[in-house]
Amino acid sequence: MFLFDDETIDNGVKTFDSLKKVNEYDQEYWSARDIMPLMEYKQWRQFSDAIERAKAACKVSGYAISDHFADVRKIVKAGVATKRIADVHLSRYACYLIAMNGDPRKEAIALAQTYFAVKTRQQELAEHYDELTEDQKRLVIRNEMKNHNKSLFAAAQDAGVKTSLDFAIFQDNGYRGLYGGLSAKDIHRRKNLKPNEHILDHMGSIELSDNLFRAAQTEDQLRKQNITDKVKANQLHNAMGKKVRKFIADIGGTMPEDLPTPDKSIKQIESEQRKKLKKGKKGP
């Protein structure tokens, strides 16, 4: 549930889904103008900037922007007259991307990120996820991982993880929990990566999902437990990693350190997609 600004919407509490609309093709969508107050934006200019960032993320993830963002004009009353203002009709995934590109220090954004992370993933798994290629799955999850790491970093900062060294130790505790004691350096070595290569860019979709689950659960628990000590934050991250590892074992899955390292990195896949886009724009 999200609190609305008293002067903007009806003095009350509404759920995100109460603002859902359905078009003539029986497709659900949300008005950007309607959800703007939920995410604590007061000016359309600032919110439209977040929408543009979300469009860019949509494109990088391999989805067509037009499938999720539709620019429209909305008629509103201005005194006794009416006027047309800019609006955008958004899919659920588009709303999710906007939340992921918002400021995680805002309570409304943090709540929205948790909500959309669950709902969008459920929808993707149920309807579209299986249709994606392995490379597309990796791009989608890696993008989610980037956004969740931003939120995790903000939550860790609130918990006393302040410096770059603090955060490196914090992250290492999460990896050690998930990878049965292996540190980030150990994982880097096992994947035979170069010093400047990031381990997350060299994970398959399943391994990325394991790490996304670990990051999301840790962020959620840091906020719920209101941890303000970096030692306790490190211990929690390690514990969350171990819980995800136990879950993998319970369902008979492959441990992350035993999963194969893909031939292509995420950066290589993104580079290939950019070249295809450029080629498509130039035409035959």
Local confidence band at 8 (pLDDT 50, 70, 90 cut-offs) = very low
DSSP 109-164: HHHHHHHHHHHHHHHIIIIIGGGS-HHHHHHHHHHHHHHHHHHHHHHHHHTT--SH
Q: Is residue 124 part of a domain?
A: no
- Range name among 16-30, 179-193, 225-239 with the lowest pLDDT average: 16-30
pLDDT for residue 78 is more than 80: no
Are 153 and 57 within one domain? no
Are 84 and 162 within one domain? no
pLDDT for residue 24 is more than 90: no
pLDDT of residue 12: 34
Distance CA 188, CA 194 (A): 8
**Average pLDDT of span 218-237:** 93
CA dihedral sign of residues 144, 119, 121, 272: negative
pLDDT for residue 154 is more than 80: yes
Q: What is the DSSP letter of 38?
A: G
Q: Is residue 125 part of a domain?
A: no
Helix (H) or strand (E) holding 13: strand 13-14
Asked if residue 31 lies in contact with residue 98, where contact means CB atoms within 8 angstroms, the answer is no
Local confidence band at 145 (pLDDT 50, 70, 90 cut-offs) = confident
Local confidence band at 23 (pLDDT 50, 70, 90 cut-offs) = confident
Residue 60, phi then psi, degrees to nearest 5: -65, -35
Q: Is residue 204 part of a domain?
A: yes
SS3 of the chain: helix, strand, coil, percent, to 5 = 60, 10, 25
Distance CA 17, CA 239 (A): 33
In sequence order, which residues have a C-beta less than 8 Å from that of residue 168 and are 6 or more positions away? 184
Are 84 and 12 within one domain? yes
Asked if residue 2 lies in contact with residue 13, where contact means CB atoms within 8 angstroms, the answer is yes
Are 151 and 209 within one domain? yes
Rg over CA atoms, the chain = 21
* End-to-end C-alpha distance for the chain, whole angstroms: 50
pLDDT for residue 37 is more than 90: no
- Range name among 6-10, 76-80, 207-211, 245-249 with the lowest pLDDT average: 6-10
Are 186 and 136 within one domain? yes
Distance CA 50, CA 167 (A): 26
Its domain, for residue 62, covers 1-104
Q: Is residue 60 part of a domain?
A: yes
pTM of the model: 0.57
pLDDT for residue 28 is more than 70: yes
Are 138 and 212 within one domain? yes
For the stretch 80-117, pLDDT in tens is 677 888 999 999 888 888 888 776 666 667 666 666 66
In sequence order, which residues have a C-beta less than 8 Å from that of residue 152 and are 6 or more positions away? 215, 218, 219, 222
For the stretch 110-131, pLDDT in tens is 666 666 665 655 555 545 666 7
CA dihedral sign of residues 52, 57, 62, 63: negative
pLDDT of residue 80: 66
Distance CA 49, CA 216 (A): 25
Q: Is residue 266 part of a domain?
A: yes
Total domain count, the chain: 2
Distance CA 116, CA 23 (A): 21
**Average pLDDT of span 272-282:** 70
What's the length of the chain?
284
pLDDT of residue 113: 66
The pLDDT > 70 percentage for the chain reads: 81
